[in-house]
Chains A and B, each alone.
Chain A
Amino acid sequence: MYLQWIELVYSVLVVCGISTVLAILMVIADATIGNYGKKKLIVNNDKEFEVEGGNTVLTTLKEQGIFIPSACGGRGSCGLCKLKIDEGGGDYLPTELSWITKEEQKDNIRLCCQLKMKNDLKVTVPDELLEIKEYEVKVDKIVDLTHDIKCITFVFQGDDKMEFKAGQFVQLEVPEYELCEETVYRAYSISSVPSENKRFQLQIKYVSNGICTTYVHKHMQEGEIIKMNGPYGDFYLTDTDSELIFMAVGSGMAPIKSILMDMLERGINRKATFLFGAKNTDDLFLVDELKSLEKKLPDFKFVPIISRPEESKDWNGETGRLSEILPKYLKKPENTEAYLCAGERVIISYKQKLMELGIPENKIFYDSFG
């Protein structure tokens, strides 16, 4: 019965799917018979490149040394590679529309891994992306922070170094191995300080069957060379003197740790509180290091919170969910900026609570892992 139903649904889908099928056929036709010759690519009304037509804008820019964030290897499934196309983009493709909002359409924002160089094209690449480079780095040290989070230290080779702002992220290239037949990229926030520009650290949490995290946790070896590119992102401290509340669980600590260490180095003494959550005491990490910052940053408080205290261990810190504990530590919401680092769902729930407590939406900054 179920199978008859399947067949029926597919018959219906034939009709509904005609447009999808046509789109796929167009993609295949494009890949096989498209010969567009040379095209002009103009970046920021300034740099002009002569390029081979027919490739995606993402690939074409990469060939010119311009890196656009991409976590899916250009399959149109991460939504990271958005750019403003000023001229020559043509109509939106069905594969772009799941990611581009109505507002973005008005601004000609396109998914540049889907859009091809069929015409001369004018594109706006934000200045910070022009700074992005690809590097080969050595895996220097792999340390377990908890049973499922590792801290990896990478060092740049030769004269290479990377200037970045505390809070930014890089993209690691995962080499081909049993879970991936072609290289893929994944984004990770830098947890170390920008002043150390010959090396950087990441905190990577294992995701069951995840391509990159399985590689990092089960295959990566100290001494190995891998490719990465960066830095990306605009999750960094504003230049105001508002009070600060930071919220994260697990590997969401990474960019916040970098920001705090940077505040210390740059002598920024804004009043700051870091609410950091874990399941139990075994899942908390770097507590001593962050606690010791309280002595060095005069107005800083580190609040480790566990959601499930174990009976066997005495815990006299905070217990519960971060959004439950938050009101106790948020004294002047109207004069506070919030910095959140977590998955999309968690950000939604923190944000809702922060706004309920009176923090204006434009003072809530986040780096969403999801």
Chain B
Amino acid sequence: MNVVQKLFGFHGGVKPNYNKEASTRLPIAAAPAPTRLVIPLHQSIGGPPRPLVKAGDRVLKGQRIGDADGDVSSAVHASTSGTVIGVEMRLMPHTSGLSAMCVVIEPDGRDEWVERKPFDFRAATPTATRDYLRDAGVVGLGGAVFPSHLKLNAGKQGRLDTLVLNGAECEPFITCDDVLMRERADPLLRGAAIMREMLEASRVLVGIEDNKPEAIAALEAAAKRANDASIQIVAVPTRYPAGGAKQLIRALTGIEVPHGERSTDYGVQCFNVGTAYAIYEAIELGQPLISRIVTVAGNVGQARNYQVLFGTSMRDLVALCSPLPDTDRIIMGGPMMGFRMPSDDVPVVKATNCVLVGSQKLFPPPPPEMPCIRCGECAKVCPADLQPFEMYWFARARIFGKAQEYHLFDCIECGCCAYVCPSRIPLVDYYRFAKSEIWAREVEKEAADEARDRYEFRLLREEREKQEKAAKLAAKTAAGREKAAAALAEAEKPARTPEEEAKHALIAAALERAKAQKDQVHPENTGNLTPEQQAEIAAIEARRAEIREQAKPHLRQDD
């Protein structure tokens, strides 16, 4: 365990004021169950789960209320026992201010569990274990809420080298992983061991920023107790965004996973430490994911970490920490990447690692934006090695293609560039804008493309038909000439015998049949085309494939 792990680091990064002390002074407390739980059905990446309950149903704690929709989805459960009072549209914890389907539960105060039994994953097939985890609603708890069962799959090349557990927690203010590691180190490592077995990984590296000495000590002690030599606790230098999955993988293993590729193809898989704990609970305790640790910090009297039932209103949660009177906003996540909530009456969900209470004083509005002076500060700190000012320039000028050429989609929206920009340009806003514009255009283009394809095919078909007609016409005139000639000859020769007529008809019928068959074999009208026409169709297909490739959903697999 005390093997010195070589560190590789990553380019860029910033050192904002971390503000983590306030919320780590007190241990984790359980937030009381509120009078209403509003549990969104769609809490993970992938398809929205189908509701399994309706108004009036009584549900138990841990009872599944939303069923995963296909494999790329994750189930949702009742966080406590009570009565369903509605399945309805409610405001989501999302900047957009959109609503989505939620199960509203009135708790009965009895907190009565469904039957829980541990899952013997060693006896089960890997597929069965993954299905079990999907139905237990386990998703990445680092904020990206990617369904964990999809990631617990050894890579294409079979065995995985390294399982990385992300305990870096680099965002200012957030300490939920820190306190989890301090207080629940043993079960956390048991979860890690389960994951390692499922992935057949040879080692586990737990990366923790070195500003969390207590967490590092706790995990080291737990690793010693577990007597598992494959687990190494590694302190990484404190520098935002060390907790970005790609940055941490790079810092720990030296491997850079390019945008759009799976880390498993490089022999690494990365999970948040909270996810490891959730897997422990699901497998060893038989408990689905119904609550999580949430940091409440910022403009509050007493910052603290709470174990919060999903569906609890952020307003109720914040009230536990006595928010200061000048509070003017609630942010989900940290100050670098968090999102402002449309209201404080939105539920805590699986993605909620922190509820950050803000005020004008704490987060003053930025001074007016100045022009970019090309100082290059942003490029110096960009952990994705991008040239942020170039992307900004093109995003602003709406030359999106160029922005993409400067690798817009490699941007992880970490905010380092905007953090250092002396011209106070809200750079990340420009990237978000450009990305959404490009997505919108691609969707449009996809539709337009289909229409254009249809149009182009029609042109091709018409062209072909024209050629056929011409050919027929030519044949006809040729035939006509022949006929005339034949008629002339006929006049001189004896008339055709009936047998000959019948033979002719037979041949014609056979030819007709053969033609019909041929048409059946090539139903897409691309059968008898000239090479040029075929090349053209290939070009159209290639163009479409390229667009489809670009439009591939930019899912974040990061944890």
Do A and B make up one complex? no
On A, residues with C-beta under 8 Å from B are: none
